[in-house]
């Protein structure tokens, strides 16, 4: 009888519940340093050894047991997941070393080889073509929703399993589709959701938790160490609240500076001007965000265009391009100025040649974010803000919730946003900050002469 293979891992009580769950989708949303990455690594390796879902037919075909591990960026995989994962794989089951170019680790399972690919979650299209028995998404709550959709598609043919881990990142799609869904009658047999605090990890020093609680603001402590689903540590626009900032397109109509009206809603908004921010992209998405400022000094996010693999200028008249999209938005909203990312002057030149009103955007990131945050700010007494987002502007809604500071940069004047799914956030900042800085003085002053 072969000697049993042991994974060098001793779960605490909260982790045991995660391992014992039988649902196809298991989610653990936990405090920092609580052992969630360790438990998911152990669960993943156990599945690669026992190989649930692998059939005799698969064995006859000689198919490997193919799986994937994803994180928002490959840097996160290298820094956190890969060292923990490789340290837990029993040495006698490793088939060769980790292949850095293919980002592949092979493991000997009970029925065949298990192939584990490590893939960045910043580009869902990179997962296409994979037919998986299982997948693990770490820090899934700061990934695009389409990343989770793609993961579900990849495991669907095999009726495979999915592991989800992370810390809470505000009330975004992850809360609705994982946490909320797991509590519904329809979802509780599909999704197992568990959450534990850092203090539940007996291997983490209790005195350090006590010290953190004394030293940190209460709301930050709850988010980081107690896995609160509230707004999260490091969130940039942490005052954003759908009940305040999100407005119905159907209920509003907008009077443009030309006096033309867009929309048929009962609530009229008089716009003094309309501008747009442009963030260039091809492999990663590009974005145009249209913003208007009303006669009360409030900003309205009116429209957007967001897409990857779109050329700046089309090769044929009928082909899609950013020039074409910009013209369509300008025709609809009478955009006075496109403030474009200054990193691609050649693209700005193409917009100029196309006859679009263009200016390079002001790109002092920290200062720009502070200006946008000033409009996002909610007056506590009146429960009002000075920036609103129309409910049809979907990508801005998705990004603004989990747009966050890069880890380790929370120091005054040194903040740097994490460059993950921030395309419309850059475009939004270009539009508002550039206009506040330059556009307010776009016309000559008029004087009455006696």
Same domain, 261 and 181: no
Tokens 């402590």 belong to 221
Asked if residue 30 and residue 112 are part of one domain, the reply reads yes
What pLDDT, on a 0 to 100 scale, did the predictor assign at position 448? 39
- Distance between CA 69 and CA 138 in Å, rounded? 8
Structural domain includes residue 301 = yes
Tokens 């100029």, residue located: 352
For residue 181, what is the domain's CATH number? 3.40.50.300
Q: What is the mean pLDDT of the chain?
A: 87
Does 261 score more than 80 pLDDT?
A: yes
Q: Are residues 153 and 57 in the same domain?
A: yes
Angle at 95 between CA 92 and CA 100, to 5 degrees: 125
Helix, strand, or coil (residue 246) = strand
For residues 228-248, average pLDDT: 81
**144 in any annotated domain:** yes
**Residue 293 — pLDDT band, cuts 50, 70, 90?**
very high
So what's the pLDDT on residue 412? 40
d(CA 416, CA 405) in angstroms, rounded, equals 6
Lowest mean pLDDT among 140-149, 158-167, 256-265: 140-149
Distance, CA of 13 to CA of 337 (rounded, Å): 58
370 within some domain: yes
- Which of 302, 306, 262 lies closest to 284, judged by CA? 306
pLDDT band at residue 167 under the 50/70/90 scheme: confident
* Residue 424 confidence (pLDDT): 96
| pLDDT higher than threshold 90 for residue 172 | no
* pLDDT attached to residue 216: 62
314 shares a domain with 174:
no
Q: What is the pLDDT of residues 200-211, one digit of tens each?
A: 888 888 888 888
Please give the average per-residue pLDDT across 245-255, as a whole number.
Answer: 97
Dump pLDDT digits (tens) for 398-413: 899 878 877 654 444 4
Q: What percent of the chain has pLDDT over 70?
A: 89
**Does residue 2 surpass a pLDDT of 70?**
no
Q: How far apart are CA 227 and CA 250, in angstroms?
A: 36
> What pLDDT digit, counting tens, does each position of 352-368 carry?
999 999 999 998 898 89
Residue 348 forms part of a structural domain: yes
Do 68 and 116 contact (CB within 8 A), yes or no?
yes
- Give the end of a domain, one of 225, 252, 275: 225
Domain identity same for 308 and 337: yes
Q: What pLDDT is stored for residue 171 in this prediction?
A: 61
Structure tokens of 450?
A: 């006696």
Q: Are residues 122 and 181 in the same domain?
A: yes
Domain shared by 295 and 423, yes or no: yes
Q: In the predicted model, what is the mean pLDDT of residues 252-270?
A: 96
- Token pair of 130 as six digits: 């994979």
Residues 6+ apart with CB under 8 A from 227: 29, 30, 31, 34, 167, 168, 195, 196, 197
CATH of the domain at 274: 3.30.420.280
Lowest mean pLDDT among 195-199, 232-236, 306-310, 385-389: 232-236
In a domain, 105, yes or no: yes
User: Does residue 381 sit within a domain?
Assistant: yes
215 and 126 in a common domain: yes
pLDDT the model gives residue 449: 35
Residue 274: pLDDT band with limits 50, 70, 90:
very high
Q: Which of 166, 193, 225 is the last residue of a domain?
A: 225
Same domain, 79 and 202: yes
User: For the stretch 286-325, what's the b/e string if a residue is b when 16 or more beta carbons lie within 10 angstroms of its beta carbon?
Assistant: bbbbbbbbbeeeebbbbbbbbbeebebeeeeeeeebbbbb
**Confidence at residue 407, expressed as pLDDT on a 0 to 100 scale:** 61
Query: What's the confidence (pLDDT) of residue 318?
Result: 81
For the cut 90, the answer to whether the pLDDT of residue 230 exceeds it is no
Residue 87 confidence (pLDDT) above 50: yes
Tell me the mean pLDDT in the region 108-133: 83
| Residue 211 burial (CB count, 10 A) | 11
Least confident residue range of 67-71, 336-340, 446-450? 446-450
| pLDDT higher than 80, residue 94 | yes
Chain centroid, CA 146 distance in Å: 10
| Residues 283 and 328 grouped into a single domain | yes
Split at pLDDT 50, 70, 90, the class of 388 is very high
- Domain hosting 340: range is 242-440
Query: Domain check: are 220 and 254 in the same one?
Result: no
* pLDDT at residue 330 greater than cutoff 50: yes
Residue 123's pLDDT is what?
64
Tell me if 208 is assigned to some domain. Answer: yes
Q: Tell me: the pLDDT tens digits for 25-72?
A: 999 988 888 889 999 999 999 999 999 999 888 888 889 999 999 998
Residue 416: its pLDDT value, please?
Answer: 77
Do 208 and 274 fall into the same domain? no
Strands (E) across 134-285 are located at 134-138, 161-166, 191-194, 246-247, 252-255, 261-262, 267-279
> If pLDDT is split at 50, 70 and 90, which confidence band does 215 have?
low
Q: Is residue 55 part of a domain?
A: yes
Query: Is the torsion defined by CA of 98, 100, 101, 102 positive or negative?
Result: positive
Supply 400's token pair: 């603004």
Rounded distance, CA 112 to CA 62, Å? 8
Number of domains present in the structure of the chain: 2
Q: What is the pLDDT of residue 450?
A: 36
pTM to 2 decimals?
0.58
Q: How confident is the model at residue 222 (pLDDT cuts 50, 70, 90)?
A: confident
Non-local (6+) Cβ contacts of 8 within 8 A are: 87, 88, 90
pLDDT exceeds cutoff 70 at 320: yes
């Amino acid at each position: 009888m072969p000697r049993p293979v042991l994974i060098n891992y001793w779960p605490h009580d909260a982790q045991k519940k995660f391992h014992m769950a039988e649902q196809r989708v298991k989610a653990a949303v936990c405090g920092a340093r609580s052992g969630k990455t360790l438990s998911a690594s152990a669960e993943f390796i156990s599945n690669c050894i026992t190989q649930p879902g692998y059939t005799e037919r698969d064995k006859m075909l000689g198919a490997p047991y193919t799986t994937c591990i994803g994180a928002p960026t490959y840097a996160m995989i290298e820094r956190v997941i890969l060292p923990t994962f490789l340290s837990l794989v029993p040495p006698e089951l490793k088939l060769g070393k980790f292949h850095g170019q293919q980002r592949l680790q092979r493991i000997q399972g009970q029925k065949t080889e298990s192939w584990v690919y490590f893939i960045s979650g910043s580009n869902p299209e990179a997962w296409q073509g994979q037919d998986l028995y299982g997948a693990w998404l770490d820090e899934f709550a700061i990934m695009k929703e389409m990343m989770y959709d793609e993961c579900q598609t990849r495991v669907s043919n095999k009726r495979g399993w999915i592991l989800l881990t992370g810390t809470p990142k505000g009330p975004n799609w992850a809360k609705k589709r994982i946490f909320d869904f797991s509590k519904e009658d329809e979802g509780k047999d599909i999704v197992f959701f568990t959450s534990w605090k850092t203090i539940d990890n007996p291997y983490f020093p209790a005195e350090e938790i006590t010290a953190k609680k004394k030293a940190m603001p209460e709301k930050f402590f709850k988010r980081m160490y107690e896995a609160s689903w509230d707004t999260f540590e490091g969130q940039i626009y942490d005052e954003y609240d759908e009940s305040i900032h999100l407005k119905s397109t159907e209920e509003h109509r907008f009077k443009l500076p030309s006096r033309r009206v867009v929309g048929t809603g009962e609530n009229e908004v008089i716009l003094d001007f309309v501008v747009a921010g442009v963030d260039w992209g091809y492999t990663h998405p590009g974005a145009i965000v249209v913003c208007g400022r009303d006669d009360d000094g409030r900003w309205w996010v009116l429209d957007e265009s967001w897409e990857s693999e779109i050329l700046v200028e089309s090769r044929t008249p009928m082909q899609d391009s950013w020039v074409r999209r910009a013209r369509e938005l300008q025709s609809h909203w009478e955009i006075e100025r496109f403030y474009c990312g200054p990193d691609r002057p050649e693209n700005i030149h193409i917009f100029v040649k196309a006859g679009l009103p263009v200016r390079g955007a002001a790109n002092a990131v920290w200062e720009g974010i502070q200006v946008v945050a000033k409009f996002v700010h909610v007056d506590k007494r009146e429960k009002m803000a000075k920036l609103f987002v129309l409910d049809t502007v979907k990508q801005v809604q998705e990004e603004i919730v989990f747009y966050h500071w890069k880890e380790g940069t929370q120091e005054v004047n040194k903040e740097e946003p994490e460059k993950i799914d921030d395309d419309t956030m850059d475009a939004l900042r270009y539009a508002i900050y550039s206009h506040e800085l330059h556009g307010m003085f776009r016309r000559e002053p008029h004087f009455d002469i006696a």
